[in-house]
Amino acid sequence: MHRKSWRRWCVCTLATAAATRNAERAEALQLLAANLHKAFYGFEPDFFQHNLVRIMDDVVSVIKGSLELWPALIEICYFQKGRKGLPQMRVDNQRKLVA
């Protein structure tokens, strides 16, 4: 929703709430206007894009770091396997009884 359009919705909703005679409807319209204001207050597309780019950069750096770590882990495992083998442990998990 464009910035001007949500403001127009808030103004129209508040004007309708002031003009209505039904107290319950007026309260509901005021609540709707307050929720619109909370949802879109200060919404700037540039700010949203900046935050999205920052989050994506963080995720990409984590993925790159993980990819850089894998060759070292594979080399360690391969070296250990050739020397004396990797430790192995059998896990005896109890199965859940299906009712």
In SS3 terms, 30-70 reads as HHHHHHHHHHHCCCCHHHHHHHHHHHHHHHHHHHHHHHHHH
Distance CA 4, CA 2 (A): 6
The mean pLDDT of 84-98, rounded to a whole number, is: 77
Question: Does 30 fall in a domain?
Answer: yes
Distance CA 90, CA 99 (A): 27
Distance CA 42, CA 3 (A): 8
Instruction: Give the residue with greater pLDDT, 77 vs 1.
Output: 77
Number of domains in the chain: 2
Domain-terminating residue out of 11, 26, 42: 42
Question: Does 69 fall in a domain?
Answer: yes
pTM over 0.85: no
- pLDDT band at residue 87 using 50, 70 and 90 as cut-offs: confident
At residue 21, does pLDDT exceed 70?
yes
Distance CA 86, CA 81 (A): 6
What is the per-residue pLDDT for 37? 75
Summarize pLDDT for 31-43 with one digit per residue, the tens.
888 887 777 765 6
Q: Which domain holds residue 29?
A: 1-42
What is the per-residue pLDDT for 78? 81
